[in-house]
Structure 1
Amino acid sequence: MPIWIRKTYKEKTENFLHLLKDDWSLPNNFDAFGEWLQSVDETLDKDAEWIADIGFMPRQNATGGGPVISLDLMKLCIRNNIEIYISEFGS
């Protein structure tokens, strides 16, 4: 999986871009998503709705922690009409 960017326009959803296909680390995925979003900021189709579906697998022996969804990333998502879906997969 790990990150699919999907575009919805006129009730039709399509896979738009696939990022980090085999990296299941949630922190790495959020970093990659943030970098991509900064690189395309305000160039995405404004008439479409966008989804960033971020897949991850829980870390073995994890006891907490994880990536921070920064205020800057949230602002970029709002400005570009992107919702974040977080999809958990088993190992």
Structure 2
Amino acid sequence: MTHTGDAARGVATRGQVVALGLLAAGIAVLAKWHEGSLFWGGALLGIAGIGGYFVQFDAPRGVAQWLLAALGFCMVFMFGLQLLIGVLS
């Protein structure tokens, strides 16, 4: 039987790219601003990215997605470190 609507899977899905982009934006904002509304905006971006990371990388398929998942894991750690530096300073 054939399935209609099956599409070829790319290296990364749109949700994975968005999750990593939100994490990167959160890290960039927290690296520059350690107080004020920009800090909290960056914190919200990063938290949304972490949520997206856990949703999108629940079952990576293939080597490329595992590498993206590893990159995302490092970005989650970096975001957590930036958040702690901002909150504790």
TM-score by length of 2: 0.39
Q: Which structure has the bigger radius of gyration?
A: 2
Higher relative contact order (CA 8 A, sep 6+): 2
The structure that is strand-richer by fraction is 1
TM-score by length of 1: 0.39
The structure that is helix-richer by fraction is 2
